[in-house]
Amino acid sequence: VADQERRADYGYWLELSSRWADCDAYGHVNSPVYYSWFDTALTTLLIERGVLRSPESPSIGLCVESHCRFLAPVEFPETVDARVRIGKLGDKSLRYELALFRRGGDEVVAAGWFVHVFVDPVTRRPVSLTDRQKQAVADLCRSV
C-alpha cells in the first residue's frame, strides 16, 4: 500500500515548494495542488530528458487520467520531495507513479499516478512515442 512507498523505488526526484496560496481554509495544502505538483515533477522530467521540447520529439503529453491518495497534511512553507517512476511505458502513453515525501524524513504524504497520452500538437491525435522518447525514460520503469 501507499504508506510503504520508499524513495529508493523511484528513480527521479525533484523538490517542490509550497506557496501561501496553496493552503485552503483548513490551513493545509489543498488537495488539487498535489496534482499540480505531480504535473510539475513529471513535466520537468520530460523536458530534462528531451521527451518534450526537443527536435526529435514531435508530440506533447495530455493527461487522460490521474489519481492520488492523501496520507498526511502539508503546511506552508513546507517543501516536499517528489519521486517519480514509470509504471507503464506504452506505445502511445506513459503511466507515471509518484510519491511525495516529507523533506528530510521517510513519511509519505501522498502517492498517486498520472497517465499521459502523447498526441500530435496540432491535430491532437495520438501518436506513437519514438524509440528515442522511450529510451529517455526506460531507466525509470518500475522494476517487477
Binding to a second copy, residues 5-34 (CB under 8 A): 16-17, 19-21, 23-27, 30-33
Is residue 60 within 8 Å of 117, Cβ to Cβ?
no
Q: Which is nearer to a second copy, 68 or 100 (CB)?
A: 68
Q: Which is nearer to a second copy, 58 or 73 (CB)?
A: 73
Binding to a second copy, residues 47-76 (CB under 8 A): 47, 60, 62-70, 73, 76
How many residues at the interface with a second copy, by CB under 8 A?
37
Is residue 109 within 8 Å of 82, Cβ to Cβ?
no
* Spatial CA neighbour of 92 closest among 133, 42, 129: 129
Task: Report how far apart the first and last C-alpha atoms of the chain are (Å, whole number).
Answer: 16
Distance CA 37, CA 117 (A): 19
User: CA geometry: angle at 119 spanning 113 and 124, to 5°?
Assistant: 120
Q: Which is nearer to a second copy, 64 or 131 (CB)?
A: 64
List interacting residues with a second copy (CB under 8 A): 16-17, 19-21, 23-27, 30-33, 35-37, 39-40, 43-44, 47, 60, 62-70, 73, 76-77, 121, 124
